Amino acid sequence: MLHERIKANFLAILKEELIPAMGCTEPIALAYASAKARAVLGGDPDRIVAKCSGNIIKNVRCVRIPNSGGMTGIEAACSLGALAGDAERKMEVLEAVTRDGLKNTVRFLKEKRCAVEYLDSSIPLHFLIELYRGDDSATVEVRYSHTNIVHITKNGETVFKVEGLVEVTEVADRSELSIENIVAFANEIELEKILPFTEKQIACNMAIAERGMRDDFGIGIGRAILETYADTTYTKMRAYAAAASEARMDGCDMPVIITSGSGNQGITSTVPVIVFARENGIPEERMHRALVFSALLTIYQKEYIGKLSAFCGAVSAACAAGAAITYIKGGTLTQIKDTVDNTLADVPGIICDGAKASCAVKISSALDAALFAHSLAMKGKVYASNTGILQDDTGETISCVGHIGRVGMQPTDQEIVKIMIQG
């Protein structure tokens, strides 16, 4: 039996991680910080300066911003947040953008009142928003996670500061995350304690998936998958997850329950599990337990990689979804671990070249690998340890993949950012 302390800790992790966000999280984080800076400034700014790390630039460049009329880019995100956002709503800061607010933003951008500067920082998720109004100014600095404000100034004077500026921003202890503990938690936790999380995941993430399948976002990748591949449950799992991502990346104004700071990871770790359960008549309780399993396994993997890197987070989330299917079908702990190993033997090297509509295709590809990995595991087939980067223990493999993503791929990340900026 899992200790009650660990159960409480895992519930706290879910509370921290599974939160709603409308739009891609990086531009929304900029909008949130800009709205916060406006509140400190006490009025609309005359001009804005956004200083952003390479990964922020990479992930904001191409995605459409919700309630913006189809705008993209750092300037648009910051300006809309400062002129029309509500900081109290955090990652749903742009939910209540008004027509006047949008009109003011368009005029502000036409007058080129927002400037972007490259922030040479070793921290992947790092930016400063500076607002100016006459002789007054306000600055908000964010590090490590999307809403982690570490420093606020007004007219050069500090009004808020986090001492130490340490990397760990979460309160809940993640040190006891392991596949064994995650399985035990999913099996043993009282259903009523996880329903507040899973019901929101189902409602929000399936709603945007259905919207993506129905309406015109991007190139219509969800429908294209259904038209291209055989009519199977696995095809539907990939199609609906891809459609949800594409809608989100293309500016859909519907919220997503994110995981590890990412809506795409939230979608990838949930939608395939829900589709599988519904297509196969899986009992509701089993589906809900599989969803918390998938969320925690995604979080566990991402703890090693970090919020932003050159490593595509869809791989981690797809890996978790594939293992969740093994779990939901009654697979053993060994089979669950084998699903993870098989996935990470296949697609651990997909690069992240920024948030964009084509993330949907990467999600589909990663899910294809994870579902095949699940199928192999259920047949007792798994790659041997020491195959490539695979280790004797699946947890060690996850740690190694995380090291590659966080440390080994730093030069790759720098080159990706360089190409995107110069191009």
The tens digit of pLDDT for each residue in 100-121 reads 999 999 999 999 999 999 999 9
For 315-353, the pLDDT digits (tens) are 999 999 999 999 999 999 999 999 999 999 998 888 988
Provide mean pLDDT across the span 267-282.
Answer: 98
Output the pLDDT for position 363.
96
Output the pLDDT for position 202.
98
Output the pLDDT for position 349.
80
Place of tokens 């948030």: 355
Which CATH number among 3.40.50.720, 1.10.4100.10, 3.30.930.10, 1.25.10.10 corresponds to the domain 173-422? Answer: 1.10.4100.10
pLDDT band at 172 (very low <50, low <70, confident <90, very high): confident
Domain formed by 24-161, architecture: 2-Layer Sandwich (3.30)
Share of the chain above pLDDT 90, in %: 86
Question: Cα dihedral angle (55, 25, 317, 325), rounded to 10 degrees?
Answer: -170
Check if the beta carbon of residue 248 is closer than 8 Å to that of residue 235.
no
Look at the chain and count its residues: 423
Q: Is residue 168 pLDDT above 60, yes or no?
A: no
Query: Among 32, 35, 21, 24, which residue's Cα sits nearest to residue 71?
Result: 24
Average pLDDT, the chain: 94
Helix H or strand E segment including 360: helix 359-378
Query: Among 314, 312, 313, 372, which residue's Cα sits nearest to residue 341?
Result: 372
Partnered with residue 115 across adjacent β-strands are 49
Distance CA 406, CA 306 (A): 6
Q: Is residue 165 pLDDT above 60, yes or no?
A: no
Q: Side chain identity at 399, as an amino acid letter?
A: S
Strands (E), 249-395: 255-257
Output the pLDDT for position 342.
97
Q: What does pTM read for this prediction?
A: 0.94
pLDDT band at 414 (very low <50, low <70, confident <90, very high): confident
For 208-263, the pLDDT digits (tens) are 999 999 999 999 999 999 999 999 999 999 999 999 999 999 999 999 999 999 99
Provide mean pLDDT across the span 84-99.
Answer: 96
Distance CA 52, CA 58 (A): 10
Q: Is residue 169 pLDDT above 90, yes or no?
A: no
Computed from CA positions of residues 121, 126, 129, 130, in that sequence, does the dihedral angle turn out positive or negative? negative
Question: Domain spans of the chain?
Answer: 24-161, 173-422
